[in-house]
A and B are shown apart, each in its own frame.
Chain A
Amino acid sequence: MPEDDPRLILLLALADDELVIGHRHSEWTGWAPHLEEDLAFSSIAQDEIAHARVLLELAEPLAGRGVDELALGRSPGEYRHAVICERPNGHWGYTVARQYLYDTADDVRLAALEGSSDADLAAAVKTIRLEERYHVEHARIWFRRLAEGPVQAREHLSEGLEQAVPEALALFEELPGEEALLADGVLPRSMSDLLSTWLVGLGADLESVSLDYVLSRHKRVGELVPTSSGEAEEGSTLEVPGLERRGDRWVAVGGFAGAGGRRGKHTEDFDELWEEMTMLYRKVPGATW
């Protein structure tokens, strides 16, 4: 496989994000807090894995490997997804935080890729984005639902964000060969430029539910909505390393947590996921159904 083809790396990064987070979402099937969420996460998983297939079909001729082989026949170090996608679902607060961060970030890059000079990619992305709207809607509903309390729900969301935000930044880690992609317009905007756009929306959303303190590094109490389950306690606020408010905009400071995903560097969480995801493919080569 021509490992250093920038177009292939871009397609694999996009496809692997969808494939791996889709696999995590599918783990809620049968276990979500209520039936509607069971359906929602199952349906989102189905969409994401289907999007991965479309993107891998575009990667096929560049990779010289078939879709199934690309999806299931690579070694863990050949996957290009961001580390946040491989993390276990954890509690509901983390699940919501991660889905919100991932799908809002995905929307920013897909919006840019609709204008890609690669006509096949642009067309696929337009179709994919029409479906991703429902994922963003779902994420926003739950984000707001938890943020508006009761306090326990807000705390779960805050914990989730604290854990997920630093790794979500790495969704915009610079791609190997990104310069070439920018030069020929396959990638219309740089990853760092897309990150700035995403942070504007993220900051606005957090402030709209008075969660701005989450990112401000200033520990304050008293911004939580009082509810029947009680007031927020000292220490229930948090800070997220890596983000800072400067003037009227949020900026990323320092390195990304969990960087390296785009170069195939993953954690033990992915080894476990990969084992399960590829088991049938490895045990029964060529299986179809």
Chain B
Amino acid sequence: MTPIAAADLRDRVRRALERVMDPEIPTASIVDLGMVERVQVRDDLVEVDLLPTFVGCPAKDVIGEDAEAAVREVSGDREVRMRFVFDPPWTTDRITEKGKAALREYGISPHWEGGPPDRGAVVVPLLAKPAGIPCPYCGSDRTVTESSFGPTPCRAAHFCRACRNAFEGFKVK
């Protein structure tokens, strides 16, 4: 079998990773979520560095396994080394435009202007602070963040006072 050229393989690995979805957000790939930091093809090795979105993400291990399996399918004889790294830290602004669309499609607001208040900012108990993001259902700005803690470590719980729908948003990081 002719060995695959490094540059070609790199593209193939990238494309393979684009098909690896976050199991908790099945519309968004790990590439769109900005989790793929580095793909390096060496003579006998493919190295992939991933960034965890939230360290306690229960899907992290599954994502690592899925990504490794996807890369193995295209990497031929080369070994695959998949690891999670923390440098640079993953932040919300790594999510691509395509990723934002994928979040929206799944009902999660991709806007995150309403991040945590700075020290000294007025804290309105018990959260119910203006979310600063439009409602994904009716578009109203009359939204509040009910809690920074939603169904997963990466999502906050918001509420729209106009259409009275609860909705989720990605936490700013």
A124–B125 CB distance below 8 A: no
Q: Are the C-beta atoms of B149 and A127 separated by less than 8 Å?
A: no
Contacts of A36 in B (CB 8 A): 126, 146-147, 149, 157
CB neighbours of B86 from chain A (8 A):
54, 120, 123-124, 126-127
Instruction: Let me know if A51 is at the binding interface, CB within 8 A.
Output: yes
Of all chain A residues, the one with the shortest Cβ separation from B155 is A43
Bound Cα distance A127, B84 (Å): 12
Determine whether the beta carbon of A44 is less than 8 Å from that of B127. Answer: no
Q: In the complex, which of the residues B54, B126, B147, B150 contacts A131, with contact meaning CB atoms closer than 8 Å?
A: B54
Which chain B residue has the least Cβ–Cβ distance from A50?
B56
Of B55, B56, B123, the contact of A144 (CB 8 Å cutoff): B123
Are A138 and B149 closer than 8 Å at their CB atoms? yes
CB-CB contacts below 8 Å: A41-57 with B: 42-44, 46-47, 49-51, 53-54
Please determine whether B90 and A127 come into contact, CB atoms closer than 8 angstroms: yes
Among A46, A140, A142, A148, contact of B56 (Cβ-Cβ < 8 Å): A46
Q: Are A39 and B116 in contact (CB under 8 A)?
A: no
Are A40 and B149 in contact (CB-based, < 8 A)? Answer: yes
Bound-state Cα–Cα, A148 to B127, Å: 15
A140 B55 Cβ-Cβ under 8 A: no
CB pair A39–B149 under 8 Å, yes or no, is yes
Given the known A-B contacts A134-B171, A137-B116, A137-B117, are A46 and B89 also in contact in the complex, defined by CB atoms under 8 Å?
no
Question: Does A110 count as interface, using CB distance less than 8 angstroms?
Answer: no
The one of A39, A47, A136, A148 that contacts B54, using a Cβ cutoff of 8 Å: A47
Q: Is A105 an interface residue (CB 8 A)?
A: no
In the complex, whether A141 has a CB less than 8 A from a CB of chain B is: yes
Complex Cα spacing A145 to B126, Å: 7
Residues of B within 8 A of A142 (CB): 126
State A93–B134 Cα separation when bound (angstroms).
35
* A54→B125 contact, CB < 8 A: no
A134-B125 in contact (CB<8A): no
Contact with B along A134-164 (1 / 0, CB 8 A): 1011101110110010000000000000000
A84 to B57, CA, bound (A): 27
B153 touches A46 (CB 8 A): yes
> Distance in Å from the Cβ of B169 to the closest Cβ of chain A?
13
Give the complex CA separation of A39 and B151 in angstroms. 7
- Inside 8 A of B150's CB, which chain A residues have their CB? 39, 43
Q: Is the CB of B123 within 8 A of A50?
A: no
A130 at the B interface (CB under 8 A): yes
Interface residues of A in 98-123 (CB under 8 A from B): 119-120, 123
Residues of A near B87 (CB, < 8 A) are: 119, 123, 126
Contacts A47-B153, A127-B86, A134-B116; is A141 near B56 (CB within 8 Å)? no
Q: Please give, as numbers and ranges, the residues of chain B lying within 8 Å of A126 by CB-CB distance.
A: 86-87, 89
- Neighbour of A141 across the interface among B85, B90, B126, B153, CB < 8 A: B126
Closest to A49 in B: B56
Q: Given that A51-B55, A141-B126 are known contacts, is A131 also in contact with B173, CB under 8 Å in the complex?
A: yes
Q: When the two chains form their complex, are residues A148 and B55 in contact, meaning their CB atoms are under 8 A apart?
A: no
| Minimum Cβ distance to chain A for residue B131 (Å) | 14
B148 at the interface (CB under 8 A from A): yes
Question: Looking at the complex, which one of A39, A120, A128, A140 makes contact with B147 (CB distance below 8 Å)?
Answer: A39
Provide the bound-state CA to CA distance between A145 and B124, in Å.
Answer: 9
Contact yes or no, B153 A130, CB < 8 A: no
Kindly report which residue of chain B lies nearest to residue A126, judged by CB atoms.
Answer: B89
A245 beta carbon closer than 8 Å to chain B? no
Asked if B91 lies at the interface with its beta carbon under 8 angstroms from chain A, I say yes
B149: chain A residues within 8 A (beta carbon)? 36, 39-40, 42-44, 134, 138
Most A C-beta atoms less than 10 A away, residue of B54, B148, B153 = B148
Bound together, the chains give a CA A43 to CA B52 distance in angstroms of 16
Jot down 20 A-B pairs with beta carbons below 8 A, ordered by A: A36-B149, A36-B157, A42-B149, A43-B149, A46-B153, A47-B56, A54-B55, A123-B86, A123-B89, A127-B55, A127-B90, A128-B55, A130-B89, A130-B91, A131-B55, A133-B116, A137-B123, A141-B123, A141-B126, A144-B125
**Given A44-B149, A50-B54, 19 further pairs, Cβ under 8 A:** A40-B148, A42-B149, A46-B56, A47-B55, A47-B56, A120-B86, A123-B87, A123-B89, A124-B86, A126-B89, A127-B55, A127-B90, A131-B56, A131-B153, A131-B173, A134-B116, A134-B171, A137-B117, A141-B123
